[in-house]
Structure 1
Amino acid sequence: MSKLFSPLMAVIYEAISAILLFWHAAWHKVVGDASWLATNWSWVLGIIFLVITVRAILFPIFVKQIKSQRAMQALQPKVKALQEKHKGDRETLQQELMKLYREEKANPLMGCLPMFLQVPVFLGLFHVLRHLKPTMPEHLRTLYGWTAGQFESASHAKLFGAPIAASFRSSSHELSLLGASGTTVKIVAAILIATMIVTTYFTSRQMILKTGWAEDPQQRMVQKLMLYGVPFSLLISGYMFPIGVVIYWVTQNIFSLGQQMWVLRKFPPLTPNGTPAPQKAKADAKGAKSGAKDGSATKAVDSRALAPKVGAKPVNPKKGGAAKR
């Protein structure tokens, strides 16, 4: 398994390096070697546009994810009925659920697919940036399509004075080779890690607020894990990530927030009766408007308009009137 896995990861390392180097070269033509705010923008923008490239490639899969989530949400009444019908027969229940998913063309695994596809990209960038060290042997500096000059430039690239190859836990020896201050690295890394945690939380929260909490206990547990577990794990593991990887993660979260907002507006979540929530609201408003035109809607009546005017003679609609005393 490991023999098959290593060549696959090598391909991913080369692909990530190729995209990163392409965008670095493109931005280097624009900004050159200039360093503003103690930042080498050609490398930082290269990482940001690496995110945009990957998300653009995965966008069709992300749309399928939203559609699949809508389909699964619409099937919840039928899923509940099957669960009640086969409560004591787990094997039959699984068979009936798979049959239902095939008939309705719904895939419960599609919701996790975009995340799983991004994991190799993240691991690839982590591996590439982790090797950007001045102590790296000469024969390893030209791996994955890099030149010695590109390696030297990237290994000393900084964001606000903190090398993108450094991490919160970098030793003083590593920082001295990179020509960086330990205090500066820790401050920049801490701010980026905090931003990464907050944006990760809000990315999951946005999706849950739009689609609602799952009624199935296992799916609800997955939602809670994504909402609370993943951000908490980043608090622990974030200090190991190179600053360049944290830049990638933060950019990806910000991009995801905007992408989810657009997709959820275009493919709104369903209400319990199976109608998209915004469309249902529009339909109700349209029905009320048409009802007002044809007179079927009840009009609000001002009670003061029906009250008798001061000094006016009372009108009794019944001719017989009340019995005389």
Structure 2
Amino acid sequence: MSLDWIYIAISWILLRWHDLWDAIGVSDGRVLGTNWSWILSIVFLVVTLRVILFPVFVKQIKSQRAMQALQPKVKQLQEKHKGDRETLQKEMMELYKVEKANPLMGCLPMFLQIPVFLGLFHVLRRLNPDNANPTLYGWTAEQFREATHSALFTAPLPAQFGSSAADLARLGAANGTVVKIIAGILVLTMMATTYLTSRQMILKTGWAEDPQQKMIQRLMLYGIPLSLLVSGSLFPIGVVIYWVTNNLFSLAQQQWVLRKFPPPQMANGKTAATSARPNGATSAKAGAKGPQNPVQNSRTGGLFGRKPTAQPEPASPVVDTKALAPKPGAKPVNPKKGARPANKPQG
């Protein structure tokens, strides 16, 4: 299937933003070695796409909340079918179907952004002075020429960390070392913000009980950032700028949405994130304090000025005075002579 419609849509949004910055006076001339009109066009391309995808992002949060609400039932199924993975998966799929929960909904925004990323990658990769068809996808020859020679701190936007000296010469790069430094910093920033975006979501929602969901969470948290260490060297600098901007936007958006839709309270009064800690970390922390004083446990009132509840006084032993009185006619016993130990040890 042809992806030209994606390339045309991406180019149209990018060029409309460039026209806007040009209209309000942001020149294509370099300031600090940077063509800010094209940098801002890429940044606001991200803003445009994230606004369009915002309803999908809200659905993602609601789907994750629904999955969290099902965690007690999922745990019961895991205990019931322990050792029978096939039956467990069938029961869990049936549970998701009945409760209308979609475990893959949490990854939907990322999947929807993949075609956008591929489209931008293709469009920026075409920015080459030797390209024989500069007017493809709605570009004019002048726009294509300006974009081809645009740069971030003298590093051309179409350049890559792994670009050869010949490629950099065609793009007009004055210093190949500067290009590698700028590209390297951007790739590391891309990795860090990708990790923080996934970590923020997992810390707020907690680790999933479902092994499949937990595997996806680990992949997003560790696998994707590490893969960018290699693949990032093949991305044009313009694409890396898009990715970093998208991650920063995601961090701010997730923070706002998670405050507006906080994690649900579980039956024990804890949030889903707290209850999802592995190996019973919460209970172990509480148990590490050791046994408490029973008097302290019986206190009432607030945190300060608590008073212990009144404890009943021990009952005094009842003494039978008649049993202790000497019997009539009995000789008095001299305690010094006839006293014997009450409990004589037997040999």
Shorter-chain-normalised TM-score: which range?
Answer: 0.7 to 0.9
For residues 270-293 of structure 1, the C-alpha deviation after alignment (integer angstroms, 9 at most, x for no partner) is 344286849xxxxxxxxxxxxxxx
Q: Partner letter of residue 261 of structure 2?
A: F
Summarize the Cα distance change of 1:21–1:276 in structure 2 as closer, same or farther, 3 Å threshold. Answer: farther
Matches within 5 A, 1:38-53: 38-53=33-48
- TM-score normalised by structure 2 residue count: 0.75
The 3 A distance-change label for structure 1 pair 277 and 88 is: closer
SS, match of residue 26 in structure 1? helix
Partner of 1:225: 219
SS across alignment from 1:119: helix
Question: How far did residue 89 of structure 1 move?
Answer: 5.8
Runs of 4+ in 1 over 6 A off after TM superposition: none
User: Structure 1 stretch 93-102 or stretch 181-190: which is displaced more?
Assistant: 93-102
Equivalence for 2:76: 81
Change (3 A) 1:276 1:187: same
Distance 1:22 1:222, change over 3 A: same
Read off the aligned partner of 1:250 and give its amino acid letter. V
Contact 1:268-1:276 at 8 Å conserved across structures: no
CA distance 1:122–1:302, change in 2 (3 Å): closer
Q: Which residue pairs with 1:98 in the alignment?
A: 93
- Matched residue type, 2:200: Q
Closer, same or farther: CA 298–59 of 1 in aligned 2, 3 Å? same
Match of 2:17 among 19, 23, 44: 23
The change in CA–CA distance for 1:69 and 1:274 in structure 2 (over 3 A counts) is farther
Q: What is the CA-CA distance between 1:238 and the residue it aligns to?
A: 0.8
2:238 pairs, out of 227, 240, 244, with 244
| Distance in 2 of aligned mates of 1:202 and 1:302 | 44
1:115-194 matches, cutoff 5 A: 115-137=110-132, 140-180=133-173, 181-194=175-188
By how many angstroms is 1:90 displaced?
5.3
Aligned to 2:32, the other structure's residue is in SS state coil
Structure 1 length normalisation: TM-score? 0.80
**CA RMSD of the aligned region, Å?**
2.2
- 2:321 pairs with 1:301: no
Native 8 Å contact 2:103 2:213 kept in 1 = no
CA distance in structure 1 between the partners assigned to 2:270 and 2:16 by the alignment: 42
State the alpha-carbon separation in 2 of the partners of residues 165 and 98 from structure 1: 46
Structure 1 gap segments, 5+ residues each: 279-296, 304-325
Q: Which structure 2 segments of 5+ residues have no match?
A: 273-299, 308-347
The aligned counterpart of 2:318 is none
Q: CA offset at residue 29 of structure 1?
A: 1.5
Mean alpha-carbon deviation: is it higher for 94-103 or for 257-266? Answer: 94-103
Q: Secondary structure at the match of 1:191?
A: helix
Given the superposition, is the C-alpha separation of residues 88 and 33 from structure 1 closer, same or farther in structure 2, using an over 3 Å criterion? closer
Q: CA deviation at 1:61?
A: 0.4
2:194 corresponds, among 174, 178, 200, to: 200
Structure 1 position 177, deviation (Å)? 1.7
Match of 1:292 in 2: none
Evaluate the alpha carbon distance shift between residue 88 and residue 276 of structure 1 in structure 2; reply closer, same or farther with a 3 A threshold: closer
Which structure's residues are more often helix, by fraction? 1
Q: Displacement, 1:95?
A: 4.3
The letter for the 2-side match of 1:165 is P
Question: Given that residues 269 and 276 in structure 1 are in contact (C-alpha distance below 8 angstroms), is that contact kept between their aligned partners in structure 2?
Answer: no
Q: Return the alpha-carbon distance in structure 2 between the equivalents of residues 302 and 260 of structure 1.
A: 42
**Alpha carbons of 1:142 and 1:302: their partners in 2 closer, same or farther (altered >3 Å)?**
closer
2: CA distance, partners of 1:109 / 1:255: 22
Using the TM superposition, give the Cα deviation of residue 49 of structure 1 relative to its aligned residue in structure 2, in angstroms. Answer: 0.4
Question: Do 1:141 and 1:151's aligned partners in 2 also have CA atoms closer than 8 Å?
Answer: yes
- 2:203 aligned residue (209, 221, 226): 209
Letter in 2 for 1:135: D
Deviation at 1:136, TM superposition (A): 1.0
Q: Does the CA contact (< 8 Å) of 2:125 and 2:236 recur in 1?
A: yes
Which one-letter code corresponds to 2:146 in the other structure?
S
How far apart in 1 are the matches of 2:44 and 2:235? 19
1:38-91 deviation line (CA, Å, top 9, x unaligned): 111111000000000111111100010011001001101112223334456656
| Partner Cα distance (1:88, 1:230) in 2 | 30
Quick one: which amino acid aligns to residue 252 of structure 1?
N
Change (3 A) 1:274 1:185: farther
Provide the secondary structure at the position in 2 that maps to 1:36.
Answer: coil
Question: Is 1:39–1:158's contact at 8 Å kept on the other side of the alignment?
Answer: yes
Does 2:65 align with 1:62? no
The aligned length equals: 278
